[in-house]
Amino acid sequence: MSMQDKFYETLIKEIPIAYAHHKMIYDALGVPIDYEYVDVNAAFEKMTSLNASEIIGKRVTEIIPDIVNDAFDWIKEYGKVADTQTNREFQTYADSLNKYYRVYASSSQKGYFTTIFLDITNTIKRTHEQTALITMLNDILLELDNEFVVVNIIAPDDILIKPKSDMIGKHLNTIVPEDLFKQIEYYASIAKKTQKKTTFEYTIDYKDKKRWYKSDCIHTKILNENRFIFFTSDITEKHELEYKLKQSESLFRALFEQAPIGVALVKDYTFMSYLNDKLINIMGMTREELVKTDWKDITHPEDLEEDLRYFNLFKSGQIPSYSMVKRFIRKNGSIVWVFMVITYLMLDEFEDRKDTHVCMINDITEIMEMNDALRESERSKSVMLSHLPGIAYRCAIDEHWTMHFISDGCLQLTGYPPSSVLNNNEITFNEIIAPEYRDSLHEQWRAVVKDKTFFKGEYEIITSDGKRKWVYEQGQCIYDDENNPLFLEGLIIDITESKNRELRISYMNSHDILTGLFNRMHFMNEMQRHDIKNCLPLSIIIGDINGVRLVNNAFGTKRGDKLLLSISHLIKQNCREKDIVARIGGDDFAILMPNTDNETASEIADKIISDCEKLSKKPL
C-alpha cells in the first residue's frame, strides 16, 4: 500500500468526524427498503455507540429496528442519494438514537452511498441553554412538550423540588400539585393560542415554607418540535430578587463577553453597539466598522437569498427564530463559515422593539474545510481505486476470505464482477485461488495476524474463463483497540507477464536451449547440492557422442542438431525421474544419479549404449 493510500486510510479512520459507507438494499421493484453497513470509522462507533465488528455486513433495520419509526425517513432519503449519485447535506434528529446529527451524504457508485456526520446534540443543547441565559436570565428554565411532559430543566439543583433526573421525561401533573398544574395548563394554552408570552405568579410549599414564583411562558418551535418554555424566578423577598438580578446581570455580562460564540444585537439589517469580542474576531472587522455595516453587504451572494427568506418570515412573526449555515465575507476578502441563530431578545427594555433581535454565530470554517477535504479525499480515493492494475480489498478472516469491500479492478483481474465476490454472493475468493496455494496462504496469513506483520506473497488464481494468472498480494490485519483482529486489508496486482518472463529467464539459465536438458552450470550446482549423506550412494555417468563434428561437416548443423536431440531423448528415456540429465558440452552428456549404486548405474549405462548402437544403424 502506498504512502498516499495509507494517508487516506488513516485520515478516514482517525478523523474525529463520523464516516460510514453503505450499500443500498432494494425490493423486487427497485424501491429502497434497507441499507447495509460496508465500512465505518472509529468516530462513527463513538458517536453512535455501535461496534463496527457487530454491524459490518448487516442491515440497518437489524441493528436499529426502530429506525423505520423515525420521523425522518433515513432509508428513503439515502435511497435518493444512492440512486441519483448526488450529494445532500442536512441536520435532523434521530429518534432511534436520541441524538441530533449534521449529515453530509454522497454517492460515487450507484447503489452505494457514504455519510459523514457530526453529533451536534450537545451543541443544540448548549444553544438552548445559552439562548435561555442570554434572553431571560431567570432562576429556572422549564421545557415541556405539547403533552406537558418535561423535556429539559436548566436550574441549580438546590432550588428544585425534586432532582432533575426524577422530573425529565415525566408528566408535569405527577410532579406539581394538581391546582398548580391546572394554573400552568391554563396560561400555557393562552400562550399557544396567541403565540405571545404569558406571565403568571403562583405559590408552592418548599422546604416547609410558602414561596412565590413568577413565570413567563412562551410556545415556540425548537428544531421543528413544539415546545412550552417557562422562565421562572423566585420573588419571595424583594431584596433577594434585587440581589439575584445583580448576579444575573453580572452573569449576563460574563456570558456575553466571554461566550465562545459571537453575539450581537441587530436592528433590522444593521449591527448595534452590543457586540462581543468573539463576534468581532469572527467577522474580521473593528467594532466601529461593524456598527456601520449592513449585514446583507457582507453575506456571501450564494447564501443571501435563503437568509433573507428566513429573515422576512422571522420579522413578520411567522417564525420565532431561525438558524442556518452561511458564509460572511471578511474585510480582507476571506470567507468565514458560521452556524448562525437569529432570535428575539426577550428583555424588558427590548420587548416592544420588534425590529431588534439577537444574532449568535459560531465559526465552523475549519469543519467545513475538513468536510471539503474529506469529499476530495473520497473522490481521489475512488479515482485511484478505479485505476489500480488489480484490486484493493477488505475481507473477513475466515476460510472463504469473505470480501466486505473489493474495488472495480476485480472484473479485469479475475473475470468476476465485484458484486459476485462481495459477501460470497456467487463465488468465494478462496475458490478463485488456485487449489495448490490455498492451504499455504491460510498458514501464512495466520502467522501474519498472530505476529502483527505484513503479508507479501505470490500465487496463482484461476479466472472465470479458466485461465491462470500470477498475482502479487500485499496486506495487513486491522485490529481493534484491544488488539483483537477485525479484518484484512490489502492490494492484489497482476504479475503474470513479469512472472512468465522471470520463469523463462530461470529456465534459460538452467537448461540447454537445443535439447531442453539441464546445462553444465545447473549440473554442477546439483552435484554440490547432492553431496550429502542422504544422497549416497551417488553415481555419475559421463559420455560423449562420437562423430557429431563429422555429421555437421558432411550434412550440415541441422542434421547434427537432430542427432543431438535424438540422443538426448534416448538418454532421458532410460533415466529415472529423480536422475538429473544434462548436456555439459558440445557432444558431452552427464547423468547425476542420487541413491544409486554402481551396479544399477552400470545397467542404465549399458542400456543407453545399446540404444545408441541401434540408433547408429538407422540412416540420418
- The tens digit of pLDDT for each residue in 431-447 reads 999 999 999 999 999 99
Q: For 7-68, where are the E strands, in sequence order?
A: 18-26, 32-40
pLDDT band with cut points at 50, 70 and 90 for residue 615: confident
Q: What does the alpha-carbon distance between residue 284 and residue 97 come to, in Å, rounded to a whole number?
A: 39
Q: Which fold has domain 17-119?
A: Beta-Lactamase (3.30.450)
pLDDT of amino acid 186: 94
Q: What does pTM read for this prediction?
A: 0.35
Superfamily for domain range 388-500:
PAS domain (3.30.450.20)
Q: Are 429 and 400 in contact (CB under 8 A)?
A: yes
Peptide bond into 537 cis (omega under 30): yes
Position 379 pLDDT exceeds 80: no
Q: Which three cell numbers stand for residue 550?
A: 563429422
Q: Are 60 and 37 in contact (CB under 8 A)?
A: yes
Between the alpha carbon of residue 19 and those of residues 15, 92, 98, 211, 437, the distances in Å are 9, 17, 19, 52, 36
The alpha helices in 99-140, defined as continuous H runs, are 121-135
Q: Where are the domains of the chain?
A: 17-119, 123-255, 259-369, 388-500, 511-616
pLDDT band with cut points at 50, 70 and 90 for residue 567: confident
Q: What is the mean pLDDT of residues 48-67?
A: 90
> Where is average pLDDT lowest: 388-402, 471-485, 491-505?
491-505
Query: Is 387 strand, coil or helix?
Result: coil
Same fold, 259-369 and 511-616: no
Q: What does the alpha-carbon distance between residue 399 and residue 403 come to, in Å, rounded to a whole number?
A: 11
Q: Which three cell numbers stand for residue 180?
A: 398548580
pLDDT of amino acid 245: 54
Superfamily for domain range 259-369:
PAS domain (3.30.450.20)
Strand partners, 265: 358
Which residue type, as a one-letter code, is found at position 159?
I
Comparing C-alpha atoms, which of 518, 414, 419 is closest to residue 469?
A: 414
Position 397 pLDDT exceeds 90: yes
pLDDT band with cut points at 50, 70 and 90 for residue 135: very low
Q: Is 511-616 in CATH node 3.30.70.270?
A: yes
Q: Scanning the structure block, which residue is given the C-alpha cell 448595534?
A: 272
Alpha carbon of residue 249 to chain centroid: 47
Give the CATH class of 123-255: alpha beta
- Write the pLDDT tens digit of every residue in 169-209: 999 999 898 999 999 999 999 999 999 999 998 888 777 77
Between the alpha carbon of residue 458 and those of residues 422, 433, 437, 471, 570, the distances in Å are 22, 11, 9, 6, 37
